[in-house]
Amino acid sequence: MTGELIIVYSLPLVFLSPAYAANASPLFLSSLLKKLHPLDLNKKFLDGQRILGDGKTIEGTAFGFLVGMIYFSVFLLVDKSLNILHLYHSYLEGVLIVSGALVGDIVGSFVKRRLKMKQGDIFPIFDQVGFIIFAYVFYLLVFPPPLGISPMDFIVFVSLITFFVHILTNLVAFKFGIKSAPY
């Protein structure tokens, strides 16, 4: 009974796990490469501020997409070959989840620049769960709600867990010198 509950409650997180992979991987790339190209090409918005800032890069976005899709593809192939969870049925699901996560992170950066926040400034809630909400919304644009869970219940549950996991992983990344701030 306990094992079944763990599986039931972990499925939404497992379902969106490609979004976590896509969201986290650009950070590792930026710690390895020194010269990255800003996604906004150093352009300014109507308010005179950078559109996104230096934290969103062409290389990081491409790497996030690549890692997210590799993760999704491996998961899909293993799941289909072992015939266990049946979480996904097509690669389009992966494209939507991974793209949604990356777009959510980019939108967060755009909003932070409009609020005149600097790169690395904490933007509570959105920094922690914006990417996961966008991943889920992108998925829902094409597919019905997964796992028989209402969209609102799904997003509340995943957002609560993600909020705390995000804080913990940022602390670990800071401790290992991957991030310059613990948030």
Q: How confident is the model at residue 169 (pLDDT cuts 50, 70, 90)?
A: confident
Q: Give tens-digit pLDDT for 74-108.
A: 999 999 999 888 899 999 999 999 999 999 999 99
Residue 117 lies in a domain: yes
**Statement: residue 7 has pLDDT above 70:** no
Q: Could you tell me how far CA 148 lies from the centroid of its own chain?
A: 22
Instruction: Give CA–CA dist 83/80, Å, rounded.
Output: 5
Q: How many residues does the chain have?
A: 183
In-domain check, residue 181: no
For the cut 60, the answer to whether the pLDDT of residue 1 exceeds it is no
Q: pLDDT value at position 24?
A: 92
For the segment 143-161, what is each residue's pLDDT rounded down to a tens digit? 999 988 999 999 999 999 9
Total domain count for the chain? 1
39 in any annotated domain: yes
Q: What's at 22, amino acid-wise?
A: A
Backbone angles phi, psi at 180, to 5 degrees: -90, -10
Residue 118: inside a domain: yes
Chain centre distance of CA 178: 17
Residue 19: pLDDT above 90? yes
Q: What value does the mean pLDDT of the chain take?
A: 91
pLDDT(139) > 80: yes
DSSP classification of residue 42: T
The dihedral over CA atoms of 26, 27, 31, 33, expressed in degrees to the nearest 10, equals: 20
Q: Does residue 49 form part of some domain? A: yes
pLDDT of 4 above 90: no
- Comparing CA positions, the residue from 153, 164, 159, 124 lying closest to residue 13 is 159
Max intra-chain CA distance, the chain: 58
Mean pLDDT, residues 34-42 taken together: 94
Domain hosting residue 97, numbered range: 14-175
